[in-house]
Every structure is written in C-alpha cells, then in structure tokens.
Chain A
Amino acid sequence: MFGKKGWLGLLMTAVLLLGACSQGGGATTTGTGGSDANSTDASGNEASGELAPAKLKIVLYGDESNRMKELAKTEFYDRIKQEINAEVEFQFLPWTEYAGGKTDLMLSTGEDFATYTDANYMVKSVAKGLYADLTPYTEASDDLSRTVDEASFKAFQLSGKQYAIPVGNKPNSAEFYSVLVRQDLLEEVGMSEVTSLAQLEEYYDKAHAAHPELIGYAGVDARRMLLYDYTDKNLYWQNDFVALDESAQDDRIINWFESEEFKKYAGLMRGWYEKGIIPKYAATNVPQLQSDWNSGKAMFWAGTAARPFEGAATISQAVPDAKLVNYFLGEGRPKISRGTYSTAFFVSSAAKDPERYVMFFNLLQKDQELYDLFAYGIEGTDYTLDENDRITRLTTDSLIPDWLLMNKNFIRFDNSVPDDFIAEYKAWDDGAVISKGAGFNFDNTPVKNEETKLNGVLTEYLAPIGSGFVDYETGYPKALERLKAAGIDKYIAEYQKQFSAWHAEQNQ
C-alpha cells in the first residue's frame, strides 16, 4: 500500500518537473521567434518612411530621484516619442543587480529591455546568446558616433560584431596612474608639488607630523601610480593577472604575478604598509578607506582626469576648502587609454525592436540640446546658465546619471570649477595612446575553472602581498605554489593564444 503511494508521489513529481522544463524551453523559443518576426516588421515600416510605435524599457541602476520620475513621465517621454516614436519606460534597480542578479534573470527569461554593461559581462552574456547583435543597426547611431570615439565602439565588438553601443566621451587615459593629492594639506606643510615617490613620502611624513589622525593612502592598490619607480615598461593591465607592455610593439602578454615587476612593487607596498601610509585596518576593511577619503581623512588617492572636481564635491562636505590636484610620480611615458566611453548599452536578445533601442541611445548623445535635457533637465526649472555657460543646478536630484552621459563635447561645469581645471581636464588626453589591447575581449570559456580558482588564490594569497600586508619573501613561495596548482600556466597560455590571434588579425 505504502509502496503504491510512494510511486504515485514520484510519478506526479516527475510529471511536474517535466512540465516545468518544457515550459521553460517553450518560453525561450517563442521569445526568439517573436523577435525575428517583429524586427522584419520594423524594417518593413521604416522602408515606408514612418516609424511604427514601439515600447522600450531602459534599466538603470541606483536611486531614482523624484525629479527623474516626473520627467520620465512628461518631458523625456514626450521628447523621445516625438523623436523616434517610442514610449520609453525607465526601470531603476539597485546596484547589486548590475551585471548579475536580476539583470541575469531578466536576460535569461527573455525580457525585452536594454541597459549598460562592461566588457566582462558582455563576453559572458554573448557566449550564452543573451545580447542582440547590433551590427545591422549601427547606422541608427550616426549622431552618437560623431561624438563618441571609434575605439570605444571597438571595445564592445566580439568577432567583428557590435554587441553594445558605447556612450560618453571623457578624457580617461591613465586612469589611476596619477596620485590625487590634497593640495590644501600639501601647501599647509610647506610643499607645492609632488613629482616623485620621494616627495610623496616626504609629504606623508610632514602631513603625518601635523595631523597624526589622517591616513596616508586611501587605497590598497597602487601598482599604476608607482609604475615609474619599479619598472621602465609602460604597463597596462588587462585584468588582475595579465598586463601588457605598451612601450613594446609585440603581442606578448605579461604574467603579472610571476614578474620581477610584481616583486619590486610588493616591496614598495610593504614599505608603505610598515610606515603606516596604508593604515593597518585596510587589510580587513577596504570600504572604510573610501569613506575615510570622502570625509577628508586621507592624504592622497588614485587619480583620474575627472576626480579633482568630482571628488572635491564629496570631500567638501567635511572639509569645505579641500583642493585636489593630480600628480604623476614620473614622466616620459605616454598615457594609455582604453577608449573614452563611460559605459555601453546592450539590448537583450529577446527585444522586439533592437534598432529602436539604438535610436534611443543615439538620442542620449545626439546634440547639446538633448544632452542638456537628459543630464540636467529643463532650463529655468532644473538649472540656469550664466553668460559663460556655467551651470547652476536648481535641484540636487540626478536624472539620467551624469557619469553615464558625460561627454566632453557637451558637459557643463558649475561655478566652483576653476577655468584652469577645465582646461586641464579637456587637454588630459592630449598625446594619449589607445592601448594595444583595446577591443580585445578574452573568451574565458576554455579556462573557466582555472579562472575561478585563480580568483580565489588572488584574494587569499596574492592581494595581501600586493598590498603590503604580507611580506613578499615569506608569503610568495606558498602563493606561487597555489597559483600553479590553480592553473596559472594554462590560463596564461590560453590568454596569449587568443591575444596573439586577435593581434595578428588587427595588424593584417
């Protein structure tokens, strides 16, 4: 009797499971089929010179401000409708869902939407067939491609296909290669500039004597800013494990953790840690570093072109007269750029009308008028412009995030940013070189297991050595052993293979 019931139970469970599986499969097929049918539709309509009405869903991450909510329903809605005959719905998700979480679910279940991505997430998702191929629609982004550079487009191509449309155009060469110094502190201790490691340490000593409560460096990674002191190469990192020497014209990749450079760098960082430039708590509480920096309790940080004025806004909460200046600890090496984009938008493969999405991205960077609308809102209500075109925002609510749209052709500065900062900012990329690896996207499928293990070894063994928490001599042998066991050789060989093939293709 019991046996009978047991079997019945099992049978019903099996039926349920089968049912669930077949439903899942069914959904995917309908999704793809639907999208094909509809895209033909769209192009058919376009041929007749009119755009059929479309509905677009744009996912953004972070908090949605009240003003954004209002505008999304009124001016943004009307303007987009008028320009490309599409109704756009903006959906805001918490940042934790970026490149994973709910975004993954929405992609896998065939929802019709677009949002932004980075190259890593793009490679993973394209391998699963989750991004729409936008190559046929790049013409729809003509205005945008005039204000966004070509290298940025290349960065989001895989085997010649465009999978995401870059937005933004900002000077971002040599990101984190400079030291962002609290100039107010520097001057307070009687110095005027920092051009070498020795001067930086002198600044620390003096500032430490005057303000023992301050920490030195608000970070745990200084491999870029210290480059000038431990190598003659112009290193540019592809990821945590692989670097390129931009001063050499070859296709050789550098296995960073097994290089002489890493050893020297670890030595420098150990010195910083022992000296107290990197606080002792950094080993266990990295987020605290940034909040210390934000509250004006650190002497220097890694710099980017925009940080002097972006960062000043945050710091001035605690230290109203804080002034930030970028310095390089050496010279004579060209700044390396990955392309000037801020981020890039992809379209889900289930989207009914990918072309319309591309047309929407195009609007974001089309001209000054639309840029002003999306980034700043309505003139007179949300902002005013003075005779020098300096902006005064009348609301603190952010609209479509300005870091995302930031384009040096359109950006407006407020009155607190001095003219020389703006000039310096706009000239930041002069003489910069696009990395020889820009546009190369590593396909990690063949070494997925190795990569997971390597990341474990990185966090557990190598990062502490790299940040100076553990002495190189004592920690490295064990770390190397783990690195080998995790398959670093296989990983590097695969990376080199793919990179060489790609490099050869580029130089044909």
Chain B
Amino acid sequence: MSKAENKGLLIFFYICIAVFSVICFAPFVLAVSGSLSTESRIAAEGYSFWPRGFSLETYQFLFGSKLEQIVRAYAVSLTVTVLGTVSAVLVTTAYAYVVSVKSFRFRNVFAFFAYFTMLFSGGTLPWYLLSTKYYHLDDKLIGLIAPYLLSVFLMFLMTNYFRSIPHEIVESAQIDGAGHLRIFIRIMLPLGRVGVVTISLFYALQYWNDFYLPLMLVTDERLYTIQYLMYTMMANIQFLASGNAAQVGGAIIAPPLETAKMAMTCLTVLPIAILYPFLQGFFVKGIVVGSVKG
C-alpha cells in the first residue's frame, strides 16, 4: 500500500517540479528565440517561443559592431572570475582556519570583526571614498577583485566545516611537528575539499555576475566586464522607457534594438548555463556541510 502511495506522491512531485522548471526555463527560451528573430517582426508582433522570421542578423550585427568590445569584456570577466575566485578562496579559508583554531587566543576577536560587518556597514559613500581616494582601486583590475575577497557568510560556513574535522587529526600532526601553515595546507584544505569547492562556486558566480564594481570603480572601457555591458544596455532602456527622459529635454532617444538586447542576454548567460550542470552536485553537497556532525 505504502509503495503505491509513494509512487503516486512521487509522480505528483515530478509533475510539480516539471511545471516549475518549465516556468523557470520559459524566459530563456524567449530570450533565445527573440535573439534569433528579425527586428521588424518583433516590433510588429511581439515575442514568441519560436523565432519570428528566423535570422542570425542580430548576432552578425553584434559581432560586427561590438565584437572587439564583447571579446574584451569576456576576457576581463574570465580573468576577474578566475583570479578573484582563487584569491578569495585563499583569503577566506585562511581566515576561517584562524577563527576555527581553538588554541588561538584572539580567534573570537577576529570572528567578531568579521561578524560586525555583517550587522553594520559604513554605507556606499565611505566605501566609495575609501576605494577611490585611499586604496586607489579605481580603473584597476584589482578593483574588480579586492572588494569581494572576504564574504563573511562563506567564511563562517568554512569555519564550521573546519570545526567538523576531528580535532585529533590536528593534534597528531602537531605532535609530529607540523606548524599551522603545514596543517592548513596539507590537512585542512584537502579534508575540507567539498567546502572549498562550494565557496569557490559561490565566489565564481559572484564575480561572474557582478556589475556593481565596474559601475562604481571603472571608467576605462578596457576594464568593462560582460555583465556591466549588459547592465548598461538594460539600464538605459529602462530609464528611457520610464519616462524620466522627459526631464532631460523631452527628447526621444532611440532605444537599442529589442533583438540586440536578447542576443546580449544569451551571450552573458551562455557560459554559466554550460558550466552549471557539471557543478551543481557540489552546490548541494556544500550547502549541507556542517548541518550533520560526525
């Protein structure tokens, strides 16, 4: 009886999930189909799930006029994501290790400093001032990396993970004469692999999806990331459509083509969409880290 019941329930859940994923997937299909349609058909008839008047013109146009910019932005995004993720993971795990070591006297103080920034932040203005006037992060590649080096939430996630590693292992290593650096590199990092991969994914996503740092700190277009290109395009369209443009002279400023918008979306989403299925297993594993002790 229970088996049959379970089966029924299972089918019900599968249907729910299927419906839900179709709903989530629909916008992507619209974007892809929009990018493959002709501009005049979109303007006249609107979007559809199947391209209207199939054409690759939009991509030809984008690659023709903006190829250099897009390729460069991709390169910057990739560099920032790779360098950023590696450095952020190093900084975060190191900090997490320090906070997790029971014999370290000031570990609570350090934990408090990190925690404090979760509760209170200085606000945008001091942050901007500090970044541009004192650290001179503007218009530099490091400006797109440094501000995100330590995510406190991920640091505590990692700390918990380190704490779940039996303390006896560390003790025995210490008896064998290993210092903290060796313990961290040879024992903690390998044993905390799942945690490290998880936070790497979070960082990678954050760096890849970020448009805020380029918006705030970059004026040199050679440092534009692909997301920032995308953001600029969308922000301009939204502003023009909202009617605020009337304040600046009541002029009509021609918005970018609908299809170009969609093509840019596809270009931005593509790498993550390709990579994600291979990595999602780690996400699930990583999230439950620390929830079950033992």
Contacts and interface: CB of A to CB of B under 8 A. Distances in A.
A66 B68 CA distance: 10
B253 A5 contact: no
A139 interface: no
A63 B126 contact: no
Interface in B170-209: none
Nearest to B248: A343
B221 A64 contact: yes
Contact of A98 (B128, B239, B250): B239
B252 A24 contact: no
B239 A96 contact: yes
A310 B126 contact: no
B108 A318 contact: no
B106 A403 contact: no
Interface string A145-180: 000000000000000000000001010100110000
B248 A116 contact: yes
A158 B49 CA distance: 55
B242 interface: yes
Contacts of B129: 23-24, 27, 109
B12 interface: no
Nearest to A312: B252
Interface stretch (B16-24, B39-47, B141-149, B159-167): B39-47
B291 interface: no
Contacts of B232: 63, 94
A9 B124 contact: no
Given A13-B116, A286-B243, A296-B44, A94 B250 contact: no
A242 interface: no
A24 B130 CA distance: 8
Interface stretch (A129-137, A267-275, A287-295, A327-335): A287-295
Contacts of A62: 236, 253
Nearest to B111: A9
A15 to B, nearest CB: 12
B71 interface: no
Nearest to A219: B243
A437 B238 CA distance: 31
Contacts of B126: 20, 24
B118 to A, nearest CB: 14
Contacts of A95: 235-236, 238-240, 244-245
A285 to B, nearest CB: 10
B247 interface: yes
A5 B106 CA distance: 8
A12 B248 CA distance: 48
A468 to B, nearest CB: 18
Contacts of B255: 294
B113 interface: yes
A125 B239 CA distance: 21
B109 A8 contact: yes
Interface in A102-153: 102, 105, 108-109, 116, 118, 120
Interface of B is mostly: helix
Contacts of B128: 105, 109
B125 A304 contact: no
Contact of A66 (B65, B243, B244): B65
A105 B253 contact: no
B248 A98 contact: yes
Contact of A296 (B43, B122, B132, B247): B43
A94 B132 contact: no
Interface residues of A, number: 60
A271 B199 CA distance: 58
A342 B240 CA distance: 16
A108 B43 contact: no
B250 A304 contact: yes
A96 B231 CA distance: 10
Contacts of A295: 43-44
A91 interface: yes
B53 interface: no
Contact of B215 (A102, A314, A403): A102
B214 to A, nearest CB: 11
B215 A94 contact: yes
Contact of B236 (A63, A290, A310): A63
B3 interface: no
Nearest to A318: B43
B241 A175 contact: no
B248 A317 contact: no
Which has the most chain A C-beta neighbours within 10 Å: B221, B238, B248, B249?
Answer: B249
B248 A175 contact: no
Nearest to A65: B65
B241 A109 contact: no
Nearest to A2: B108
A63 B216 contact: no
B122 A20 contact: yes
A219 B278 CA distance: 48
A2 B112 CA distance: 12
Nearest to A315: B43
Interface of A: 2, 5-6, 8-9, 12-13, 20, 23-24, 27, 61-64, 66, 69, 91, 93-99, 102, 105, 108-109, 116, 118, 120, 168, 170, 172, 175-176, 286-287, 290-291, 294-296, 304, 306-307, 310-311, 313-314, 317-318, 341-343, 401, 403-404, 406
20 contacts: A20-B122, A66-B65, A96-B238, A96-B239, A98-B244, A98-B248, A102-B215, A105-B128, A118-B247, A120-B247, A168-B249, A170-B249, A172-B249, A172-B250, A295-B44, A296-B43, A313-B254, A317-B43, A318-B40, A406-B251
Q: 7 tightest CB-CB pairs across the interface, nearest first?
A: A403-B251, A95-B239, A94-B235, A318-B43, A287-B241, A342-B249, A96-B235
Interface of B: 39-40, 43-44, 65-66, 69, 106, 108-109, 112-113, 116, 122, 124-126, 128-130, 132-134, 215-216, 219, 221, 231-233, 235-236, 238-245, 247-256
Given A63-B232, A95-B239, A96-B238, 19 more contacts: A5-B108, A24-B125, A63-B233, A91-B219, A94-B236, A95-B238, A95-B240, A96-B239, A105-B124, A105-B128, A116-B248, A290-B241, A291-B241, A295-B44, A306-B252, A317-B43, A343-B248, A403-B249, A406-B249
